[in-house]
Structure 1
């Protein structure tokens, strides 16, 4: 053992003598000193972001309604004071600029965010008469009592935001978090970061470790250590070593460990320094971050094993560096090809919504960012493919020719055998009462028309949910009330929007007065809603409140019962015959009795992973949920039990739907669907489309090659897990609803361990058989 320890000591003596160690320590110290001035300042939230408006059309409708009512109101203050650029061709030149923006705000949430943002800076925004009768929080009341001249710019923005939250509850998310501003020394950026302080620190450590150290740091380490192995096997030096009773493989592995130990010293100094800066400077003590030390050492060992093997064979440091860099480039290229094919070809085809349509399925694909090029498709049994249906004749176009989806989830009417969908109509018209306007329309499509959409009736601007009752009625639920769509088009003869100059038959145009309010007088904006398929009763979530509305003999909805939930972050709801499922932002699911509303059980099957889809079976027995990391969860109401069913590709589930026959359709593998019996999990039917050229290349070429080679780049998932303590990550580029992926932790570790073992074994075999 002593000779091998002597070899390790010699490697360190050589590093010290050549001053390589000293230079690296100085550079590392300078990096740490450069990090120290970074600051993260927390302030109360005073600006708007995309996620603050859960239902933009409903918010626009509420503002419009206030502007058209008598007396002062928050809506009139917004129109009066907000400003945002110049108009565009097609805007109503006679309408105020604010109303022009609102006319487009329903379909362009980013525009609405920017428009309302301009209100926050106005000191004169608060007018007591406009907020008369509204309940203001203690903080809001305190700020409004202070003269605007005595408030700072930040306090004015804070006050105005709180006033808007009070004016439009449920439509503007309540301010529960704090904004974080990034700074360096005395400079501070003017816009907040979209994460919390701890989240920003975790992201910074993750980014620095994964990309800066994981790429540039490792390459520098390879440059520094590349000459160690070749120099050991130069003529003269190797003769002296091998003249002693030492194992050739032992000598090689000792040299390899010596290089790793040298990098371990530098890595430990840097990581511990960053950890101390995060704790002492920002109060962020994340002990798991220290586990990045062995992880980075492991990543270095993978590339260093290639450098060492080449160094033994060619005994040339330059060749070792060149081959190692080429290996890194090849691994990166393979990752780029796989990611590129998935991003541009496979992921846009991923099914994110399923709807049962008699004996077949309707599906909606993911599309690109913000729903661009999103399509609704129906399964064709004869062609074994997903065929696009309900395609709009025109849609808002984005850059690059993409079309932006503004449609609601499609609904199937089993009575008239047609599909329903709510989407932008393209023009703004006045409704029958001449007091409100709308540009949203109910479209229908049936098999006789090849499932092409036809405009049926204009609906209120704030409506986002359409339901079909057990007796065939169309119910619309919006922020301002509950409506029913007329079942006949006779009222079209009295429609006021017919343009005689176009010479269009009025019976072929959508009608504006084809809906009537059937909701309760005390209706208020809501967070989520679900309908019982047998009774047409509605379950509505509002903050921490669950309310049930039922139809009376006159066909109007009235409040039947209500209860307070155990938490105020309820997000999704599913209304079955015996149970009501409610998902919360912290990942837990509560099951309430459908009749008494009493809490039956609370489940949290996947830590803090949130539910993205929650469905109830038509027979009322089952509740099914898809979590954001694409795992399926099932609740059996007959015996009050829950489980994680053993379905194919569990962990890649993107959509679910219960069929009218009681089956459970599960979408996995991008665009594949398998229908199960929920009780036995027996396969009932397959919906596997024929592979086109792009998917065929992915499944039979790109994916197999990528699986064979090592994946050092995927160790970034392990870094993310160590730093954030989360097994999922979100891709915000996919739009307002980020796509969350399960972090692959063990697979890259095992793959890279296997690669490292094979390379070192080959090197040992070479030095054992080589006659030096």
Structure 2
């Protein structure tokens, strides 16, 4: 054992004599010293940020209405807008007349100025607004006892009450970073729990990947590249071989010595970052320490190449050059694989699926709508998205046995208003499911629902509106794309070309016409759509709506408020709230909702799913999905059976049902699930998985009735049979960054929230493939090096 220890010590001596090593040590200590003063402050969420405005057009129209509508003068909306700067009010007066653009940040600044001066507030006027419990509690505090932060928080909540449905939900308290005790000017729009999650999932993994994956690995290769050439010098090699040690063990000892040197550098940096994160940011995450072995493992991949190059050419320069070329090749292969993931398989991935008799229609992430062609085993394109993943396709909805409704909102992924036509698309069985343009949808529509045999309902950022189903069918094919749609610019400002087109015949429209224009700009019902939400209910993201199985009620969730609404008898009436419950916890968390029979399943990110009574809304049981650290991203009810099917961000699916008096989850034996739906007429559960495959299961026994598996063509064929094998056979060092992220966050997947759409972008981190490919590569390279060293006369 002593000879091998001597070789290890000799490796350390060789490395410690390198000036580059000491420069690296100094850089690590200096970096940690510069990072140590960072900290954070937590206070009430008081200011508005332009990113919180769900859509600028809706807010602009609402403020303009408060300014010009005489009936709003003494109401909260009118009093608030009256406090705005004169220049902004002049611009708001032009809304509905000219193509006026107002940036979101300008509106946010005006609201923040209003927070500092509450001359607009009138207690009597605000009694008519929908006030959250937090606001009611703050209103009860005497002015002498309220702090300045609480006062500003109260003013913000009062503004939110005057502008219902405008702002995305935020936590009551937010984080502000500080440095050396001085608050940094940027405020995070999240609370402390979300800040910790963000740091663990993104910030710390990114920091580790850059520092450990690039800087330290490169420095390690520079320092250790001379180990093997120096060992092969005649005097040094003869001395080592004179010891009772085999050539193979001598080479492996040198390899371990080089890795141990990197271990010292990495340990200093990782432990230092862990202490700073814990002491300064209260993020005591012991999983950060997993970065130490992963970084050494990553270094060993490149060092195995450097070692073989050093044996072959006995030159440190060539060792570094060959290793850099290898790193470039591996990186290129990783980027090509990522390109295919994002531009080939990504756009083809099914995002929603619907079954209508023998027809199966899907919407993809690339903005396409497709129908299954059973005769040719392929998906026929009905609406071509052309890979434009910035578009939003509304989940297809069955209208009747012969019609399916959907819509495509151009640019809607990042802006709910989009930048194109908002006409409904009706797919007709008699016309081979060819899409036909139909009624104009309410602006910012995000989901469609079919209610009984008479109505279709649209959910947007303002509320719910219904239209007679027959009106939709009658209009199909008769509507032309309206060139006067509202357009949204890249900076978040909007133009009102629709309004301008409608009023171009008159220099200044009358008040009634302007108010009608503003109402439509707010996202109000258009054409034959009629609003049905009661005046006491305002929807704000995250908002979810489902129709009960008996088609008589709606289950609505918005900002921690869960309600059961009775549907009206006619379109001229409004829904009635028949049950209501407040869901405790963080109301800003993304939420999924489903109903089955007389049970509701509600799941919020990072919280256990809840099973509730659909009639009383009383909580029955929390539902845990065992061995799953992923979040639930989709859930569907299975008719009147009181059963649900859940999908998490790992692509796993499970059936939740009541067994022996308690609710249990049973895994569904299908992996990589991306979408699902239940069709009550055929009693079929459709499960989309593995990019573009769909399994049709009998809902009663969950046995597979059919599998829709298209033949691979074009780039998909190349990806499957060339790119994937190439990525499997080469060490996936780029994907090890995902391994670091998964180890630090404790999650192998997460879902990104796009407020303008209901579906969520899921990012899954590959952990097994990079570990297996890199381990196999190291083993092969060391085997070749040992054989070469043992069979050559040095």
TM-score between the two structures when normalised by the length of structure 1: 0.81
Aligned to 1:763: 785
Aligned to 2:74: 72
1:643 aligned residue (653, 665, 668): 665
User: Residues 370-389 of structure 1: matches in 2 within 5 Å?
Assistant: 374-389=367-382
The secondary structure found in structure 2 opposite 1:294 is helix
Q: Aligned partners of 2:637 and 2:100: how far apart in 1? A: 36
Aligned to 1:658: 678
Structure-2 change in CA distance of 1:100 and 1:291 (3 Å) = farther
Q: Aligned partners of 2:699 and 2:241: how far apart in 1? A: 68
Deviation at residue 771 of structure 1 after TM alignment: 2.5
Deviation at residue 48 of structure 1 after TM alignment: 4.5
The secondary structure found in structure 2 opposite 1:654 is strand
The secondary structure found in structure 1 opposite 2:214 is helix
Aligned to 2:705: 684
2:399 aligned residue (396, 413, 417): 413
CA contact (8 A) 2:447 2:459 kept: yes
The secondary structure found in structure 2 opposite 1:711 is coil
Deviation at residue 463 of structure 1 after TM alignment: 5.9
Deviation at residue 144 of structure 1 after TM alignment: 11
- 2:557 aligned with 1:572, yes or no? no
Residue-by-residue CA offset, 1:450-472 (whole Å, 9 max, x unaligned): 54554544565576554323333
Structure-2 change in CA distance of 1:643 and 1:299 (3 Å) = same
Structure-2 change in CA distance of 1:531 and 1:198 (3 Å) = closer
Q: Aligned partners of 1:280 and 1:414: how far apart in 2? A: 61
Q: Aligned partners of 2:472 and 2:270: how far apart in 1? A: 71
Aligned to 2:246: 247
2:159 aligned residue (132, 147, 164): 164
Residue-by-residue CA offset, 1:185-208 (whole Å, 9 max, x unaligned): 688653334555434644443222
Aligned to 2:553: 537
Structure 1: 5+ residue runs without aligned partners?
88-92, 106-110, 368-373, 393-399, 427-438, 503-510
Structure-2 change in CA distance of 1:576 and 1:85 (3 Å) = farther
Structure-2 change in CA distance of 1:62 and 1:677 (3 Å) = farther
Residue-by-residue CA offset, 1:351-376 (whole Å, 9 max, x unaligned): 11112222122211113xxxxxx222
Q: Aligned partners of 2:92 and 2:744: how far apart in 1? A: 52
Aligned to 1:256: 255
2:539 aligned residue (500, 520, 525): 525
CA contact (8 A) 1:468 1:474 kept: yes
Structure-2 change in CA distance of 1:166 and 1:613 (3 Å) = same
CA contact (8 A) 1:260 1:301 kept: yes
CA contact (8 A) 1:230 1:317 kept: yes
The secondary structure found in structure 1 opposite 2:187 is coil
User: Residues 193-204 of structure 1: matches in 2 within 5 Å?
Assistant: 193=188, 196=192, 197-199=195-197, 201-202=199-200, 203-204=202-203
CA contact (8 A) 2:630 2:750 kept: no
CA contact (8 A) 2:442 2:526 kept: no
Q: Aligned partners of 1:490 and 1:697: how far apart in 2? A: 42
> Which 10-residue stretch deviates more, 278-287 or 291-300?
278-287
Structure-2 change in CA distance of 1:205 and 1:463 (3 Å) = closer
Structure-2 change in CA distance of 1:341 and 1:115 (3 Å) = farther
Aligned to 1:485: 468
User: Residues 323-342 of structure 1: matches in 2 within 5 Å?
Assistant: 323-342=322-341
The secondary structure found in structure 2 opposite 1:191 is strand
Residue-by-residue CA offset, 1:695-732 (whole Å, 9 max, x unaligned): 11111111111011111222222221232233224557
1:176 aligned residue (171, 177, 182): 171
Aligned to 1:514: 528
2:775 aligned residue (753, 756, 760): 753
The secondary structure found in structure 2 opposite 1:306 is helix
Structure-2 change in CA distance of 1:308 and 1:385 (3 Å) = same
Q: Aligned partners of 2:566 and 2:388: how far apart in 1? A: 42
Q: Aligned partners of 2:91 and 2:581: how far apart in 1? A: 47
Structure-2 change in CA distance of 1:391 and 1:450 (3 Å) = farther
Deviation at residue 101 of structure 1 after TM alignment: 10
Residue-by-residue CA offset, 1:573-593 (whole Å, 9 max, x unaligned): 222224222222334322234
Aligned to 1:435: none
Bigger RCO (CA 8 Å, 6+ sep): 2
Q: Aligned partners of 1:460 and 1:425: how far apart in 2? A: 15
Deviation at residue 224 of structure 1 after TM alignment: 0.5
Q: Aligned partners of 2:97 and 2:789: how far apart in 1? A: 77
Q: Aligned partners of 2:377 and 2:474: how far apart in 1? A: 42
Residue-by-residue CA offset, 1:20-51 (whole Å, 9 max, x unaligned): 55443323222222323444444433455687
Structure-2 change in CA distance of 1:5 and 1:518 (3 Å) = closer
The secondary structure found in structure 2 opposite 1:190 is strand
Q: Aligned partners of 1:567 and 1:381: how far apart in 2? A: 48
Aligned to 2:135: 137
Aligned to 1:447: 429
Structure 2: 5+ residue runs without aligned partners?
412-420, 476-498, 506-524
The secondary structure found in structure 2 opposite 1:389 is strand
Q: Aligned partners of 1:617 and 1:406: how far apart in 2? A: 26
TM-score between the two structures when normalised by the length of structure 2: 0.79
User: Residues 102-121 of structure 1: matches in 2 within 5 Å?
Assistant: 112=104, 115-121=107-113
- 2:763 aligned with 1:741, yes or no? yes
Residue-by-residue CA offset, 1:213-238 (whole Å, 9 max, x unaligned): 21121011101011011211222322
Aligned to 2:608: 588
Q: Aligned partners of 1:23 and 1:477: how far apart in 2? A: 60
User: Residues 609-648 of structure 1: matches in 2 within 5 Å?
Assistant: 609-636=630-657, 641-648=663-670
Deviation at residue 743 of structure 1 after TM alignment: 2.5
Deviation at residue 65 of structure 1 after TM alignment: 6.6
The secondary structure found in structure 2 opposite 1:645 is strand
Q: Aligned partners of 1:290 and 1:118: how far apart in 2? A: 46
Deviation at residue 73 of structure 1 after TM alignment: 3.5
CA contact (8 A) 1:58 1:462 kept: no
Q: Aligned partners of 1:696 and 1:188: how far apart in 2? A: 54
The secondary structure found in structure 1 opposite 2:380 is strand
Structure-2 change in CA distance of 1:490 and 1:404 (3 Å) = closer
Q: Aligned partners of 1:281 and 1:73: how far apart in 2? A: 46
Q: Aligned partners of 1:521 and 1:440: how far apart in 2? A: 26
Q: Aligned partners of 1:523 and 1:155: how far apart in 2? A: 26
CA contact (8 A) 1:61 1:462 kept: no
> Which 10-residue stretch deviates more, 401-410 or 121-130?
401-410
> Which 10-residue stretch deviates more, 406-415 or 262-271?
406-415
Structure-2 change in CA distance of 1:407 and 1:114 (3 Å) = farther
Residue-by-residue CA offset, 1:289-313 (whole Å, 9 max, x unaligned): 2222222112111211111122122
Aligned to 1:703: 724
> Which 10-residue stretch deviates more, 739-748 or 195-204?
195-204
Q: Aligned partners of 1:183 and 1:102: how far apart in 2? A: 42
1:469 aligned residue (444, 451, 461): 451
CA contact (8 A) 2:454 2:469 kept: no
Deviation at residue 168 of structure 1 after TM alignment: 4.1
Structure-2 change in CA distance of 1:486 and 1:360 (3 Å) = closer
Structure-2 change in CA distance of 1:663 and 1:77 (3 Å) = same
> Which 10-residue stretch deviates more, 338-347 or 132-141?
132-141
Deviation at residue 670 of structure 1 after TM alignment: 1.7
Aligned to 2:30: 30
CA contact (8 A) 2:655 2:667 kept: yes
